[in-house]
Amino acid sequence: MTEPARALTEVREKIAHAAKLARREPSDIELVAISKTNPAEAILPLIAAGQRVFGESRVQEAQTKWPPLLEAHGELSLHLVGQLQSNKAEEAARLFDCINSLDRSSLVAALARAFDKAGRQVSCFVQVDIGEETQKGGCPIAEVPALLAEARGADIPVIGLMCVPPHGVEPAPYFALLAKIAADNGLAKLSMGMSGDYETAVMLGATHVRVGSALFGARG
């Protein structure tokens, strides 16, 4: 096995173990391999090892890297996990299969227009500012119901909530809070958990974990 394939096997095993502890089906958890800053050569071994869902944090980087990979391996799906500027919404709508960072009213309007122009609706997670750290983006907790209502009104397919908890503190309370907000708002999907805490996230209900460095190695 190549090194990335070995890492992939290990992450999958840890997801399955955490799922088992939580009495969940491992197949209910989607591993999104976050390939940002990694070149195509680093991504190919993971595709060869069977990984099909990838994530990028910048529209522009994804636009240069992914079209040839998608062309060659048709069945892949691509998530946007970074902040999205309204003027990039149409490009994002054409390239990505899921947007994890819908976090404000102006972006609801921009995405609605972008989906019309691109002729496709892209599933979205509403990103919640779970640790009240405005610099990371995310909708303030108190404003989530209003943003969801607005997104529904604009026919944006919101499938769940996403968060990035504060760095360096125990993430479990934040994951549990995101799960509660999702349940309160009738949303089934939770995009939470990264390389350092995806097992905890799985135990607290994550349906999508976003794992980068545990698969690709530390980013330079």
As measured in angstroms, the least distance from the Cβ of 218 to ligand PLP is: 8
- Minimum distance between the CB of residue 162 and ligand PLP, rounded to whole angstroms? 8
CA atoms within 13 A on the CB side of 153: 9
In the complex, minimum distance from the CB of residue 15 to ligand PLP, in angstroms, rounded to a whole number: 13
Nearer to ligand PLP, 92 or 214 (CB): 214
State the angle between helix axes of 40-48 and 3-21 in degrees (0 to 180), rounded to the nearest 10: 60
Phi, psi of 200 (to 5 degrees): -60, -45
CB of 165 to ligand PLP, least distance (A): 11
What is the nearest approach in angstroms of ligand PLP to the Cβ of residue 198?
A: 8
Q: How far apart are CA 189 and CA 78, in angstroms?
A: 17
Helical packing angle, 105-118 and 144-153, nearest 10°: 20
Other beta carbons within 10 angstroms of residue 159's beta carbon come to 17
State how far the Cα of 114 lies from the Cα of 87, in Å rounded to an integer. 9
Contact residues: ligand PLP, CB under 6 A? 34, 36, 57, 81-82, 164, 194-196, 210-214
CA dihedral 20, 26, 32, 35 (to 10 degrees): 70
Minimum CB–partner distance for residue 136 and ligand PLP (Å): 9
Choose between 121 and 195: whose C-beta lies nearer to ligand PLP: 195
H helices of the chain, where? 3-21, 40-48, 59-72, 89-95, 105-118, 144-153, 172-184, 198-203, 213-216
